[in-house]
């Protein structure tokens, strides 16, 4: 039998340890990630224009529609074909106070010739006309749009939305290169697996993928891509994966399920892509599920994905050795 004095001592120790833990909480895994200068508006750098919103009717999922915006860099000239980069969850990627600020990244890197001149498209998930538009104020669309279904279902429907419904409109309005090597697509979370699916299903059209905290998990069976990569002939896709050790780790109702472990599934996919000889790069941080680490990494992800743009080595090429100035339109 434990003596009352011993119980009192044990209780005192427990209370003390609890107090110490509360006084010294673990750091927030996202606390070390802050946007760098490439993600911020810089003086002297020509700013592109964001046009929209535009509404795209959807026949793939009847009754729904997609809202999108188009980024036009200051250096775009209708006389020269531009590259193309499409971002899923467009509202989050173009948010001027958000974690990605893709328009600033493109402004800065285009100006310094670190990526080609490119049209950027920010497209939101599909919704019915009576559903709210995803935004920084109301959320990304989970539970009140078609985001969960069209982004996470491992089939070709979302690829068809991008290639059969969106691209024809973009081709009509802008001079965009038809070269698949000049087409990139990216996203975060469910938007990342959606981006990968587009390239996987249509590598003849999209060959560059930016994936941040990709949901290659069992939301709707998305964990299958590791096996699909291993079982299929290598496709001409270049991909940069970004995730963190504190992403969603697969414990649900006290039970661990590896198909719901975001970090594990991203690492599995990376290993499968590497084994099959894909052009793959990756970085693993400490981050939670979100865009803090991805925002920090995005400029380097874009540089790496677009590193093979044309370049002149002529020392007398004054244009090549100058910043890209706005085009004369």
Nearest in space to 89 (alpha carbons), one of 188, 184, 207:
188
Residues 6+ apart with CB under 8 A from 276: 229, 230, 234
Nearest in space to 159 (alpha carbons), one of 109, 209, 110:
209
Give every strand in the sheet of 83-88, ordered side by side. 49-58, 64-72, 118-123, 83-88, 183-188, 208-212, 238-246, 279-288
Query: CB-based burial of residue 48 (10 Å sphere; 0-12 exposed, 13-18 middle, 19+ buried)?
Result: buried
pLDDT at position 20, please? 47
pLDDT band at 73 (very low <50, low <70, confident <90, very high): very high
240 close to 282: Cβ distance less than 8 angstroms: yes
Nearest in space to 185 (alpha carbons), one of 255, 63, 102, 251:
102
Nearest in space to 35 (alpha carbons), one of 91, 125, 96, 119:
96
pLDDT, tens digit, 9 for 90 and up, residues 266-291: 999 999 999 999 999 999 999 999 99
Alpha helices, DSSP H, located in the chain:
4-23, 90-93, 102-111, 147-152, 157-160, 167-173, 190-201, 225-231, 262-275, 292-305
* Four-point Cα dihedral 306, 43, 92, 282, nearest 10: 30
Mean pLDDT, residues 102-128: 98
**3-class state of residue 83 by DSSP:** strand
pLDDT surpasses 80 at 61: yes
pLDDT surpasses 60 at 11: no
- Calpha distance 238→98 (Å, rounded): 26
pLDDT, tens digit, 9 for 90 and up, residues 191-238: 999 999 999 999 999 999 999 999 999 999 999 999 999 999 999 999
pLDDT-above-90 percentage for the chain: 90
Query: CB-based burial of residue 231 (10 Å sphere; 0-12 exposed, 13-18 middle, 19+ buried)?
Result: exposed
Please give the C-alpha separations between residue 270 and each of 187, 211, 260, in angstroms, as whole numbers: 17, 11, 16
pLDDT band at 2 (very low <50, low <70, confident <90, very high): low
The encoded tokens of residue 71 equal 């980024």
- Calpha distance 99→120 (Å, rounded): 17
pLDDT band at 15 (very low <50, low <70, confident <90, very high): low
**Residue position matching structure tokens 């001592």:** 9
Nearest in space to 269 (alpha carbons), one of 182, 157, 192:
192
Residues 6+ apart with CB under 8 A from 180: 203, 204, 205, 206, 207, 236
pLDDT, tens digit, 9 for 90 and up, residues 164-190: 999 999 999 999 999 999 999 999 999
Mean pLDDT, residues 105-129: 98
Nearest 5°: the CA angle 56, 57, 62 is: 145
pLDDT at position 309, please? 85
pLDDT at position 328, please? 82
Pairing outcome for strands 64-72 and 118-123: antiparallel
- Calpha distance 131→138 (Å, rounded): 11
pLDDT band at 12 (very low <50, low <70, confident <90, very high): low
pLDDT surpasses 70 at 8: no
pLDDT at position 310, please? 85
Mean pLDDT of the chain: 94
- Calpha distance 271→24 (Å, rounded): 37
Q: 29-305, which class in CATH?
A: alpha beta
pLDDT, tens digit, 9 for 90 and up, residues 247-258: 999 998 999 999
């Amino acid at each position: 039998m434990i003596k009352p004095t011993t119980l009192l001592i044990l209780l005192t120790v427990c209370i003390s340890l609890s107090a110490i833990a509360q006084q010294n909480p673990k750091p927030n895994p996202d606390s070390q990630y802050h946007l760098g200068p490439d993600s911020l508006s810089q003086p002297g750098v020509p700013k592109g224009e964001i046009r929209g919103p535009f509404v795209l009717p959807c026949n793939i999922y009847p009754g729904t529609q997609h809202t999108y915006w188009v980024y036009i860099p200051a250096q775009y000239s209708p006389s020269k074909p531009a590259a193309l980069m499409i971002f899923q969850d467009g509202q989050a990627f173009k948010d001027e106070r958000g974690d990605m600020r893709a328009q600033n990244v493109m402004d800065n890197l285009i100006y310094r010739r670190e990526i080609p001149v490119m049209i950027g498209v920010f497209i939101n998930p599909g919704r019915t006309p009576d559903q709210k538009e995803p935004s920084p104020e109301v959320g990304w669309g989970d539970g009140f749009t078609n985001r969960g279904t069209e982004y996470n279902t491992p089939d070709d429907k979302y690829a068809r939305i991008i290639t059969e419904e969106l691209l024809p409109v973009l081709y009509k309005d802008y001079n965009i290169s038809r070269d698949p090597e000049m087409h990139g697509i990216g996203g975060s979370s469910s938007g990342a697996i959606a981006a990968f699916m587009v390239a996987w299903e249509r590598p003849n059209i999209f060959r560059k993928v930016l994936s941040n905290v990709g949901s290659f998990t069992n939301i709707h069976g998305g964990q299958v891509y590791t096996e699909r990569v291993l079982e299929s002939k290598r496709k001409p896709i270049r991909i940069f994966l970004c995730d963190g050790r504190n992403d969603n780790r697969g414990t649900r109702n006290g039970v661990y399920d590896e198909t719901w472990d975001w970090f594990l599934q991203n690492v599995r996919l990376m290993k499968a892509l590497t084994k099959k000889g894909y052009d793959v790069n990756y970085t693993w941080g400490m981050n939670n599920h979100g865009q803090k680490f991805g925002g920090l990494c995005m400029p380097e992800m874009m540089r790496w994905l677009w590193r093979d743009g044309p370049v002149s080595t002529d020392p007398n090429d004054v244009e090549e050795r100058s910043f890209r100035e706005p085009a004369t339109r």
